Each structure stands twice: as C-alpha cells, then as structure tokens.
Chain A
Amino acid sequence: MATTYEIIDSITLGSDQASVTFSAIPATFTDLKVVFSTRTNRANAIDGLGFYFNGDTTAARYTSKVLIGNGSSALSNSANPSNDEGIFTTGDGSTANTFGNSEIYIPNYAGSNQKSSSIDSVGEYNATTVRMNIAGTLYNQTTAISSITFIPITGTTILTNSTFYLYGISNA
C-alpha cells in the first residue's frame, strides 16, 4: 500500500526566532498539512500567528473568514492570515509552559489554481478561559507553494521549544 501521509520535515526551536520558514517544499504531493505547537514572547495570554506563502507578504493577496470562540461568546469576522489573527497561539503572559496548537491544511498546493487553506487553532492557557478559531483562507496567486513562513503577530519572536511539522498528503 502506498504511503499517503508522509512527514516532509519538522523543527523544534532551540532558540527564539522571529520567523520559521519551510523552504524548497517538494511539489510531489497532492496536499500539505502543517501541525504546530507554539508560544510567542507577547506579554499577554494570547497572540496570533501569521503565515505567508512563497515569501509573498503582500497583504492584499490574502483573505480569511474566521469563527472565534472563547468559552463564553462566539463571533465571526474577516481577517488577513498574513498579518492578522488567522491563527491563535499562546503568548508569554499565559500559564508557564503552555503552548497553542494549530493545523493548516492546504489542498492542491502545487496546482495552478488560487490556493485555499483551512485552519483550526487554539491558544491554550491551562486556565479558566481559552481562545480558539476555525478559518478558511485564500491566497489569490496561482504559483505552486514552495515555501511557508510563520510569524508572530504582536509578539516579535516565536519561543524556544515551539514545534512545527510539515506533512505531505498523497491521494494515491
């Protein structure tokens, strides 16, 4: 039976980093999935993570619709995954040693269509509240995705011991 779910690469941060990039992603899979556990240096319980493809930080090329819940209320809004809270994570003002957990699924990443993706994320406090979201995003460029970069939104670094796993999914 063919392997349909394969790890491409992974990283555990040994020091704080301003951004994390997976580059030279092979175009040999059908879909991509990134699973990450992160904490930023923002002095708050919560922070956002932004991401962009192929080194393209042009905000107008990214859109996102986000459903957010915090345990007591819910809301929906529009966001920009390249520079807004498309992904929730844990800030350094939260309970020690807690990390936010997130996934991004990117179907048909090597095709010639515009690139959609879906996200689910939670900023974990290990306390009385939590913030989580699910989001659908669009990157309106048709170039195959060969790199993905993650950046903290309000904080300036992603903290040591954060982890990132990049998987390739094949349909056969």
Chain B
Amino acid sequence: MTTKLIVDCSTGITTEVELTAEEIAEREAMAAEYAVQKAQEEAEAAAKAEAKAQLLDRLGITEEEAQLLLS
C-alpha cells in the first residue's frame, strides 16, 4: 500500500492517505516521462562529446590547444 502524507497547518493534524489508482498512474507516467527525457539529454551530450573529440582528432590538436585558440 502506497500512501501520501498531508500535514494540515491549521490543525497540526497529519493524515496518511492511500493513493488512488489515478494518482499511482499519474506518478508512474511522470517518472517514465522524466526517464525518457534524461535518456535523451544524456544521448545528446554523448553525441556532442564524440563529435568534439572527432573534430579535435581531425585538427590534430588537444582540447587545451583549442581553448587557447578561442581565448
């Protein structure tokens, strides 16, 4: 049983409420959406790093030397 906790600041009473099926589905959907988003971000970052490494390799310079050229 998964529950959520509600603290009523007007009374100080804390209530533990069982999640509804809709709330469980909503949380699962949000988590799945986030996982997909993070996977896309990580794939994009990896592709960018790979492209950068290949370019440096073609130019025959190190990253430090490239930064020096741009400074």
Contact = CB atoms under 8 A, between A and B. Distances in A.
Given A18-B2, A156-B2, A157-B2, A23 B7 contact: yes
Interface size class of A (residues with CB under 8 A): 20 to 34
Given A18-B4, A57-B26, A25 B31 contact: no
Interface string B35-50: 1010000000000000
A90 to B, nearest CB: 17
Nearest to A57: B26
Contacts of A25: 9
Nearest to B18: A18
Interface size class of B (residues with CB under 8 A): 20 to 34
Interface in B1-47: 2-12, 14, 16, 19, 23, 26-27, 30-31, 33-35, 37
A152 B30 CA distance: 10
A84 B34 contact: yes
A18 B2 CA distance: 6
19 contacts: A8-B9, A9-B7, A11-B7, A11-B14, A15-B3, A17-B4, A17-B5, A18-B27, A19-B4, A19-B5, A20-B7, A21-B7, A22-B9, A24-B8, A26-B10, A50-B30, A154-B34, A154-B35, A156-B31
